[in-house]
Amino acid sequence: MDALQQVLVAGGWHDAVAPAGRFRARDPATGEEIGPWFPVSGAEEVEAAVMAAEAAAPELAAADPVRVAAFLDAYADGIEAAADELVALAHAETALAASPRLRDVELPRTSGQLRQAARAAREASWTHPVIDTAAGLRSAYGPLGRPVVVFGPNNFPFAFNAVAGSDFASAIAARNPVLAKAHPLHPATSRALARIAHAALRGAGLPAAAVQMLYHLEPATGLALVGRRAIGAVAFTGSRAGGLRLKAAADAAGVPFYAELSSVNPVFLLDGALAERGEALAQEFFASCTMGSGQFCTNPGLVVVPRSAAGDAFAAAAAARFDAAPAQVLFSEDGRRQLHAAVDALLQAGAQRVAGAAAPEGDGFRVAPALLSADGEAFLADAARLQGEAFGPVSLLVRSADAAQARAIAQAFEGNLTATVYRAADGGDDAEAAALLPLLRPRVGRLIVDRMPTGVAVSPAMNHGGPFPAASHPGFTAVGMPGAIRRFAALHSYDHVPDALLPPLLRDRNPGGVWRQVDGRWTVADLGEGG
């Protein structure tokens, strides 16, 4: 039997101390165990990591943002240089396509995201400095001064990895140490990323314990970790049940908890759009729903389709694609079991399976894509159960009787990450779109017109978040710099603090050209100069 892989704790790679167990990854395509053994960290290891992170926090908070940016840029470079190894590891552990998904989409997105975080750190764009000269007050967002715990999800081994993704980059850009809890379905990928991060960190001259990583925790250990008042904030992406348990523990300790939980991302296909390009929309929907085996937070899991000739044609065209699709590989046996349970729950709530039962599920963690359907009346009669998330290549068509019923359906949604409306190009649906959007607006983070929700651009105007239970707070995004950074920031006000004792970005002189709001006007000028 192999020795256990080392953990990254207190500034270096160490043998696991008193591990609570061990595990290996599996190849989802075969179900076979692969790679070395990794430790499940116990309470003693977690204690050491928290102590080290607390000790590193003041030093990192005081570090020159240029060094932080240098680290993030070097990490991005290192990831790109190691692309072959990273893609091979992630492909083996997740069965996501090496290309285009991992190599050409997710890896560049990850390095690009780290570079955007670096830029935000250099430009201080996340700090939102405000100067009120009459009141003698100045404020800016600053580091929490405490460690941030990041729980990574299973579905993005790079871009949301606990030690490389958006939460990681955001917390570091705000100069907080990160204690990463990698997802146990891709431990070798996480280890390879953490090695690159560790090397980059030393090169940048930042505290070595600014980045730590554990592979796996027992549930009770995770709950105890996030319930420590020493923790500055927690970021979690994953299942609603696990997320809500962690949230309760963090809430009780007053620790801000940023969760991205679950979402069905409703899509409204208006009749004019269907009449105009129903066949193309069926293909667009099918591709979005089955991309990455449907394992996207923004998967279109619910589509509202009118009970019209064009709607029927769309449903038939979509069903044909689902029927013809081969079985798809999920990340884990657990995932497959949960998906089957979710589909069963939808069927029990009144949905019918209209396509996809035929595909044999075969080896590994394969499932058949499935298309379900329910009439609008049935949906409205049991909206709570019929908007349950089925995480995988599954979607529910809700067939609306008319525009009024479609609006009622829109008003029955709980918090979601996104909602989408497809309109006819000739403007014929615009009145109905204009009626639907205000109903959807308070229920989602991102409103989309005429495209599927699965594309999540890393943009300052993105909101990858939404009202509860899609996310834990409606005011923050998990993706997009500098907004995502602000989750890990404290508001710092300075009351009659002399210039020399202020942080550089709040002093009279502004040599870095930081955007600041001075007496109500945004400017990059020094204080007293014209804006």
Q: Which one among 84, 430, 508, 529 touches a copy of itself, defined by CB under 8 A?
A: 430
Can 414 be counted among the known catalytic residues?
no
Q: How far apart are CA 434 and CA 185, in angstroms?
A: 43
DSSP conformational letter for 368: -
Query: Are 34 and 92 spatial neighbours (Cβ–Cβ below 8 Å)?
Result: yes
Residues facing 151 on adjacent strands: 181, 236
- Which residue, 135 or 357, has its beta carbon nearer to a copy of itself? 135
Q: Which one among 412, 446, 485, 510 touches a copy of itself, defined by CB under 8 A?
A: 446
469 sits near a copy of itself (criterion: CB under 8 A): yes
Nearest C-alpha neighbor of 385 from the set 407, 412, 362:
412
Q: Considering the complex, what minimum distance in angstroms separates the CB of residue 163 from a copy of itself?
A: 24
Q: Which one among 94, 111, 139, 288 touches a copy of itself, defined by CB under 8 A?
A: 139
Size of the site for a copy of itself (CB under 8 A): 83
Q: Using CB under 8 A, which residues numbered 160 to 219 contact a copy of itself?
A: none
Q: Considering the complex, what minimum distance in angstroms separates the CB of residue 282 from a copy of itself?
A: 20
- Which residue, 131 or 274, has its beta carbon nearer to a copy of itself? 131
492 sits near a copy of itself (criterion: CB under 8 A): yes
Q: Using CB under 8 A, which residues numbered 31 to 60 contact a copy of itself?
A: 57-58
Q: Considering the complex, what minimum distance in angstroms separates the CB of residue 145 from a copy of itself?
A: 3
303 sits near a copy of itself (criterion: CB under 8 A): no
Q: Using CB under 8 A, which residues numbered 394 to 423 contact a copy of itself?
A: 414-415, 418
Inter-helix orientation angle 107-123/65-81, to 10°: 170
Q: Considering the complex, what minimum distance in angstroms separates the CB of residue 160 from a copy of itself?
A: 18
DSSP conformational letter for 217: B
Can 289 be counted among the known catalytic residues?
no
137 sits near a copy of itself (criterion: CB under 8 A): yes
Sequence-separated (6 or more) residues with CB below 8 Å from residue 73: 114, 115, 118
- Which residue, 360 or 498, has its beta carbon nearer to a copy of itself? 498
Q: Considering the complex, what minimum distance in angstroms separates the CB of residue 59 from a copy of itself?
A: 10
Tokens 């409306």 sit on residue:
421
530 sits near a copy of itself (criterion: CB under 8 A): no
280 sits near a copy of itself (criterion: CB under 8 A): no
438 sits near a copy of itself (criterion: CB under 8 A): yes
- Which residue, 138 or 336, has its beta carbon nearer to a copy of itself? 138
Q: Using CB under 8 A, which residues numbered 314 to 343 contact a copy of itself?
A: none
One-character DSSP codes across 40-98:
EB-HHHHHHHHHHHHHHHHHHHHS-HHHHHHHHHHHHHHHHHTHHHHHHHHHHHH---I
151 sits near a copy of itself (criterion: CB under 8 A): no
Task: Provide the b/e sequence for 340-372 (b: ≥16 CB within 10 Å).
Answer: bebbeebeebbbebbbbeebeeeebbbbbbbbb
Residues facing 487 on adjacent strands: none
Sequence-separated (6 or more) residues with CB below 8 Å from residue 526: 508, 509, 510
Active-site position among 54, 93, 289, 297:
297
- Which residue, 119 or 353, has its beta carbon nearer to a copy of itself? 119
Phi-psi category of residue 414: left, alpha or beta, with phi > 0 → left and psi -120 to 50 → alpha: beta
Nearest C-alpha neighbor of 167 from the set 110, 102, 239:
110
DSSP conformational letter for 169: H
Nearest C-alpha neighbor of 24 from the set 186, 204, 205:
186
Active-site position among 45, 93, 260, 284:
260
Q: How far apart are CA 70 and CA 80, in angstroms?
A: 15
Q: Considering the complex, what minimum distance in angstroms separates the CB of residue 139 from a copy of itself?
A: 4
Tokens 């804006």 sit on residue:
531
Q: How far apart are CA 196 and CA 312, in angstroms?
A: 52
Q: Which one among 380, 490, 505, 525 touches a copy of itself, defined by CB under 8 A?
A: 490
Q: Using CB under 8 A, which residues numbered 502 to 521 contact a copy of itself?
A: 515, 517, 520-521
Other beta carbons less than 10 A from residue 171's beta carbon: 31
CA distances 228 to 4, 42, 108, 218, 490, Å, are: 28, 16, 35, 16, 18
Q: Which one among 25, 201, 304, 489 touches a copy of itself, defined by CB under 8 A?
A: 489
65 sits near a copy of itself (criterion: CB under 8 A): no
Q: Which one among 7, 95, 96, 130 touches a copy of itself, defined by CB under 8 A?
A: 130
263: its two tokens:
């979402």
486 sits near a copy of itself (criterion: CB under 8 A): yes
Query: Strand 137-143 and strand 416-422: pairing?
Result: unpaired
Interface with a copy of itself by CB under 8 A: which range of 45-53, 82-90, 152-160, 470-478?
470-478
494 sits near a copy of itself (criterion: CB under 8 A): yes
From residue 217 to residue 246, the character string flagging contacts with a copy of itself as x (rule: CB under 8 A) and all else as - is: ------------x-----------------
247 sits near a copy of itself (criterion: CB under 8 A): yes
- Which residue, 178 or 255, has its beta carbon nearer to a copy of itself? 255
- As annotated, the active-site residues are 260, 297
